[in-house]
Structure 1
Amino acid sequence: MSHSTDNDLSNENKIKNKGPFGAMMILIFGTLALIFGLGLSISIGAASIDLTTVWQAIFAFDADITDHQIIQEVRLPRALGSVLIGAFLAVSGAIMQGMTRNPLASPAILGVTDGAAFAIAIAFAFFPGMSYLGLMGWSFAGAGLGAMLVFGIGAFAKGGVTPVKLALAGVAVGAMLSSFSSAIAIHFRVAQDMSFWFAGGLAGVQWISVQLLVIAAVVGLGLALLISRSITILSLGEEVSKGLGQKTVVVKTAGIIVVLLLTGAAVSVAGRIGFIGLVIPHITRFLTGVDYRWIIPCSAILGALLLVLADLGARMVNAPYETPVGAITALIGIPFFLYLARQEGRGL
């Protein structure tokens, strides 16, 4: 066996020995924190409802009680939607960072989110009254368009693709698609309908939205877990991956499908919510190591928790009015992005 192959196997063995303790702490305590956060999210709003009533509304629903109706029809779907969307964005970011070995990769930064919003703007302008399922399909297509443009531009960059060059291409493409979306919204007079998707928020989540998100979760998160070991090996580099006999094209194709499915579903329901896919995978890797069999489920838990808390903050910052939840996540994500860009910029 060659020295190179010995190193490959050594790398794989090191991966197996990292992170179970940190991951189990996240899965246990993160889940408990998420349940508590869900209770607060359902309880707090324009009218505060005590946690006992929340429990009764979920497990002993009485249609004659107004608070029960508010919880079942408004607050519960919104809370569950925030869990799923936060998990989707975090897992998408983790997979993108693993596949590209780019610490700056995330759906928002690499044009995927803006592409999905651009496609939704077209759908609103030319196909008014489209169903949630139709919007989700357009969102998937737009997410694919955004990713294709960013990676296409990055491939032609002088000196090859680097994390910062790919991020710059993503910012440029995102700004372009965002401008096109705004122009379409204004010209076709759907700006009011599109304002929700531009700002990002969870106020419009309904049970039909949650049902579609659950389907996307079963397919997307299930596939993400299936390819998690392959993403771990791919994150070590293509040469290592091929040396261990991995079919990198198949893994990358599956990873792209997961990202487009999860991001497209998230944007179609909640609009553009940035930086969860950037911040959460870094925190997760710091706590669990580099094994994506741990990173993916832990990112899902932490991403869900972050969005639940961000949505709660969005309702409390300027009560009784709501602040766009995208603004709350941006306050966390932008400094983090600038820090990472500065670190990676030294390698230009």
Structure 2
Amino acid sequence: MSTQAASMQLDDFDVLIDWEKLKIWLSTTEELKSVSINSVSKLDGGLQNNVFLIKTDGQDIILRRPGKHLKPKSNETILREARVLRALSGSAVPHPSVLATCDDETVIGACFYLMEPLEGFAKSGDLPGDYATDANWRRAMGEELVRAAAALADVDHVSVGLADLGKPENWHERQVARWRSQLEGYAATPGYDPGELPHTDAVGCWLTDNLPSDRQIGLVHGDLQFPNVMFSLKAPIISGVLDWELVSLGDPLLDLGWILSSWYEDGDPDGKSPMVKPWDGFLTRRELVEQYCQLRGRDATQVPWFFALACYKLACLLEGTYAASKAGKVPAKVGDSVHAYATWLMNKAQQIVAA
């Protein structure tokens, strides 16, 4: 490897990358042993992980690693991400290709993997390029999200070696207790009261009493929405689905429910704006459901259960940030904003179950 870009010239981002050790490791990696690193920049990569764009003489590389302060399963989660992405190779699921994986945390302080960059953007807020000016491109965004969800659901998790990715037994029956216990666990935080989240009892009882009859088990991304999907700027297509840290086994219809929960329509409860703008031209929720069920042969009458479950699950998860704000670990403004969205989700869930 060339030494023209000495490690002292590259930012270590508060010791998130040990360049000397990384270069030695790269020199032993067949796919990347001849690369010459020129520069590095830190990208937006979510709350749990750090993502870096490394420019070399031959190609750009994305490095993804956990945060500086590792949690008990941080390394396990990042390696699982890489494993899932490798397993998806050759499938119809748009995803980044993994170039190399490192399970030795002594190299840069955590396990990590390297992958090919994707063209396009992943964001909420104002849309760029033709997405901002052409309603047909915005319509295609919904269609592409549904196709990606259906393609992931079509993957045979057993044949690609992911049968151990979760616990499929009684998955549907276990969901309410699983996420309700998560919510109630925050009660140990001084100043936080789980009772502040509305409709948890009513929605939980409805989910328990109305278990779906149309059930499948497969891969579930777990957070399929605009900020976690890279859309191409060259054509209205998905370049790749990102942020696979929540992937597990479950009923793939939950990914559709997640998309529906992120959507915006007239008649929704107050307190939420479209995730991206402008919003005119986007498919309706009904059209999203019809497309998915046509692609996968699922029963559309069962979808409200998964829609309500997605709202319930995400609300319970988000309350963790609100509880942390009560303990002073997260800015109060952030906590209040997250709690407002969790409240909207439960109001939407209540609207679904009351329909």
Query: Which TM bucket (shorter chain)?
Result: under 0.3
Higher helix residue share: 1
Higher strand residue share: 2
Higher relative contact order (CA 8 A, sep 6+): 1
Structure 1-normalised TM-score?
0.25
